[in-house]
Structure 1
């Protein structure tokens, strides 16, 4: 059989530079075969024009082109991970498989299965920390218990942080000569996988010093371009989290830095409490008697509730795959409190639509809105979707952009009265949780 190779398995780290696992693989003694698996277990659930699949595909083609200039490429597979590795191990003499850690329940199960399969073949499986600064139980209370409140977690995170150690850049460009010299590795088209190109594009991220410095004053106003649009790029690893933290520190902006720490807070919560994907973190909230009216859910999804801030947010989501963070809180509170629809329904819809869908943050934020999560808003805190307009879109610029018929006879009546819905929510929650 041909000479031995080390496989580097790209996943949520779609970049060649400052990629810890890729750097480690290139430092091994065998040539590196880069691979990516379009996982059928995940893709089979998605619509054929899913924008995230187009984005991943395009990023991989850019990476392939860069690697082809080095005489190498990335082998692309469309199957289950186990089937892909059966194929890889039959086509190549594999010594080790190297990849970066992934923390979601499905990913952990997948990696255990692959590690077990490789072990039978006496192939090593090595994974590295790459998508976060701190992971798993690296930031915990003094007694070893996980933090379930953000502020003390954030303080401990900052205490443990050492820029020299944690912001080391893993430069790979000097080590590309250790790639497998094979520029015609298996490729795929979107149509080979049953997909077509999405009309929704992932926006470029903006982390200029100006954006970061003005972030605190602009981030709550949905009509302004005051956010970084970094979420999707962190989700799929097209940027390095180390470089983003360095930018926040260099710009001396605590708020922007702390948003990156929030991301890690939710990731460690999901790692410690994987059951929260399906169950309320605060168990008694699973006793809430949701109304779960399907017709009302459809109106919420389409942005036809009669509450313009809610409707603008949902239409922005449906059209662009994005929703402003302030508005996410308003639409989530409206679904759980005004309509008494289970937060899991909303979480699943966001999972389907959001370009920057991150399971840990999405579950964490939906449970926050429902009052059932860690560090949650108390159940009696119910956003008034009308006064939110006065505070954050008083000129109605955002609403007019996404709800052009607002203020005309074509705009729907309010589907519920705020005061009545609030009372109903309070009574329902109170009888469930006391």
Structure 2
């Protein structure tokens, strides 16, 4: 009797550099690869609509990759740990492997599963597959989590070099017959009534192979110009964020490809700046690890007393759909709606406008991005929103209010980005601004100052 190995995939939808899959193939028994759509485990945030679209196509690509190597992708739906334990019982599995997650509820579920499996005589092991540096390994001299990015970044660079990627197995011995599996279509991850994903299909090629193609194009064509990444019309960013979010490419693969690959002289000069952004992702995960409620609670508790305004429904709808009368804000929100992403510089501008010009609680914007971004990430999304609000770790100063007009003048001087997404900007069809930028900025600064006085910080 054989005792197959189960590989439970979550945010690591790839065959290459997958430590859990590598361990399963090294064990030498047949392999069951399973993904569980978990909308039920308390504390684990269900995916937003845009992420579900991406997930459908990512699982399709992964299933094809596994089939080419001799294995199958098993799909289940329910509480993830419960479904994996059931699968282990049904198949007589001798081992279960997975790559670690870092949210508290996920960690608790994984720890309980590991205990339960081991008590039942099943080997259970977790691996470092999604972060270059485990959160508990990069700490201050006093043994506490970093609260400021720059010293965290230095500590990462001074620590042990991240491991090299594992090779993709050429063959995976699948179980025959394959375990019972859901039909992916039954999960209804794709929008139908209405089908709002036309722009997504035009913009994105999903899956592990696509992720590596995107990386190579970036290194060849855009990394040398990465210093101009703040200019949204030039679009010299990597476009890797959704692939990293779903683990179609690992940070280890990106790190070593950039550090050790053959690059042009111009690209080499920008490599450190790009990898610094990879470490920013690591920083947000370290913050999440220490602050599990990052998406719902202010990191800085003095912000609990901030006088958020009750958002006007019309203003909120105008912001969500790019009808605020502020061209750069509207361009960014329309880019998001059409493609599932937004240029990073513009993300900061639209976030500042919502929080500081409209005085809307950052959690409202974070939730909208969670639902509409294909790269909605449990650490980056709330971490970056709190950065803009001033309530987060290493946050922007509370008095920094991005002026969207000045930002457009500086970073979109020829209005290429704005006119691409707001073609009617110079016509009578374009609305008047929903708020006066100067007056609303002053009102926001007064509110921040009042909050600080009440907290004894002024």
Provide TM-score, normalisation by structure 2. Answer: 0.87
CA deviation digits over 1:69-115, x for unaligned, max 9? 34321211122214423531342102221000111233223323433
Q: Does 1:326 align with 2:360?
A: no
Aligned counterparts, 1:61-140, within 5 A:
61-140=60-139
Q: In 2 relative to 1, CA 11–405 (structure 1 residues): closer, same or farther, beyond 3 Å?
A: same
Of residues 62-71 and 417-426 in structure 1, the stretch that sits farther from structure 2 once superposed is 62-71
CA distance in structure 2 between the aligned counterparts of 1:69 and 1:247, rounded to whole angstroms: 25
What secondary structure does 1:7 align onto? strand
How far did 1:187 drift?
4.1
Task: Indicate yes or no: 2:298 matched with 1:302.
Answer: no
The whole-number CA distance in structure 1 between the counterparts of 2:353 and 2:50 is: 27
8 Å CA contact 2:223–2:236 kept in 1: the answer is no
173, 185, 209: which one aligns with 2:169? 173
Q: Distance in 2 between matches of 1:79 and 1:306?
A: 44
CA contact (8 A) 2:52 2:190 kept: no
Corresponding residue for residue 12 of structure 1: 11
Distance 1:11 1:215, change over 3 A: farther
In the alignment, is the contact (CA less than 8 A) between 1:6 and 1:95 conserved in 2? yes
2:81/2:110 contact within 8 Å kept? no
> Is 1:241 aligned with 2:241?
no
Compare 21-30 and 261-270 and name the one that shifted more.
Answer: 21-30
Question: Structure 2 vs 1, CA of residues 362 and 395 (structure 1 numbering), >3 Å: closer, same or farther?
Answer: same
Tell me, yes or no, if the aligned pair for 1:369 and 1:376 is still in contact at 8 Å. yes
TM-aligned CA distance change 1:319 to 1:139, over 3 Å = same
Give the Cα–Cα distance (whole angstroms) in 1 for the partners of residues 378 and 334 of structure 2: 22
Equivalent position to 2:414, from 386, 395, 401: 395
CA displacement at 1:215 relative to structure 2: 4.2
The answer for the alignment partner of 1:262 in structure 2 is: 280
Tell me the alpha carbon deviations over residues 39-61 of structure 1, each in whole angstroms, 9 at most, x when there is no partner: 233899567xx343343233333
* Contiguous gaps of at least 5 residues in structure 1: none
CA distance 1:132–1:45, shift in 2 (3 Å): closer
Change (3 A) 1:60 1:46: closer
Gap change, CA 1:181 and 1:70, over 3 Å in 2: farther
Distance 1:189 1:415 in 2: 46
Unaligned regions of 5+ residues in structure 2, if any?
192-196, 454-458
Are positions 1:220 and 2:238 aligned together?
A: no
Alignment partner of 2:4: what SS?
Answer: strand
Alpha carbons 2:226, 2:237 under 8 Å: kept: no
1:414 aligns to what? 433
Match of 2:367 among 335, 348, 364: 348
Contact 2:309 2:360 in 1 (8 A): yes
Task: Summarize the Cα distance change of 1:129–1:46 in structure 2 as closer, same or farther, 3 Å threshold.
Answer: closer
Normalization by structure 1: what TM-score? 0.92
Q: Which is worse superposed, 107-116 or 329-338?
A: 107-116
Change (3 A) 1:356 1:182: same
**Inter-partner Cα distance in structure 2 for 1:280 and 1:82:** 30
2:395 is aligned with 1:376: yes
